[in-house]
Structure 1
Amino acid sequence: MQYARIISLILTTFFLGACASNLSGDVYTRDQARREMTVRAGVVETVREVRMEGTRSGTGTLAGGAIGGVAGSNIGGGKGQIVGAILGAVAGGLAGSAAEEKLTQKNALEITVRLDNGQTVAIVQEMGEVFHPGERVRVLSNYNSSRVSH
């Protein structure tokens, strides 16, 4: 019975991690749909691969804490079980948080664009479209969000 709980908590953690949002240039959020965007044209100056940090939503911490608590409660008997559950929950929470952050990291691009007006902008977005120096591109912006597109 305990193993079934642990397995279900592990699977829940991985499924929730798979729900992480996509920040590439070809994906729009629901809020961005049907909103006017400013379009500026320019030329790609540089493209650099970078890592985008993972999420820290608390899901990994909760799942890890639950798994660690269940696993720790199997240690000892009586008050030892309680101490084991508490220590297991704390250790599991820390491990779950670290695992969530690592599992949700993304490969991204830092794209520097010299706009036609002479201004230079750099935008980081998740890998998707491939960009090369010298290519003509569009920079689409609304509010505090921008993306580079062909």
Structure 2
Amino acid sequence: MTRQFGLAFILGSVLALAGCASSLTGETYSREEARTPQIVRTGVVESVRPVKLEGTKTIIGPAAGAVIGGVAGSGVGGGRGSAIAAVVGALAGGMAGAAAEEGITRTQGVEITVREDDGSMRAYVQEASPDVTFNTGDRVRVQSINGRSRVVK
């Protein structure tokens, strides 16, 4: 029973940390961006297309998967067989944990191509927001800060 509790705790921790991933929508600012001057340009949306934003790839997923796989593998067999199963379980769990983390944190994005008022055309990619949609012909602002830009209506 203790082993099952430990596995559930670790899996819950991974899922909770995945939920803490920062948002990349046009409406979300990091703490560092707050109260920092931004360069604002205006323009018109030329095109919009959906894209996928890959998920995060940190050490959390593989580490949690390795622990879970190692604990599960150690329960197989006895003696030397148990140790080998623990190593194999840890390796397989690490790979599965990495894939799970990337999959859980993958999001839907949008590529917005804007013809700015100075005549330049640029494409911006940001996380799609259910509250804000962009259409061809929309008048938008492009806000840039610390080398990062966002498109807002």
TM-score interval w.r.t. the shorter chain? over 0.9
Query: Percent of aligned pairs with the same residue?
Result: 47
Counterpart for residue 133 of structure 1: 136
Q: 1:144 aligns with which of 108, 124, 147?
A: 147
The size of the alignment, in residue pairs, is 150
1:65-144 → structure 2 map (5 Å cutoff): 65-128=66-129, 129-144=132-147
Letter in 1 for 2:150: R
Contiguous gaps of at least 5 residues in structure 1: none
**Alpha-carbon distance in structure 2 between the residues aligned to 1:76 and 1:97:** 26
What is the identity, as a one-letter code, of the residue corresponding to 1:91? Answer: A
Q: Normalised by the size of structure 1, how large is the TM-score?
A: 0.98
Q: Where does structure 1 differ by over 2 angstroms across 4 or more consecutive aligned residues?
A: none
Q: Corresponding residue for 1:30? A: 31
SS of corresponding position for 1:70: helix
TM-score relative to the length of structure 2: 0.96
- Partner AA of 1:13 in structure 2: V
Consecutive unaligned residues in structure 2, runs of 5 or more? none
Q: Root-mean-square deviation (CA), in Å?
A: 0.7
Q: What is the CA distance between 1:106 and its match in structure 2?
A: 0.5
Aligned to 1:12: 13
Give, as a single letter, the amino acid of the residue that structure 2 aligns with 1:26.
Answer: E
Q: Per-residue deviation at 1:143?
A: 2.3
The alpha carbon displacement at 1:79 in A equals: 1.2
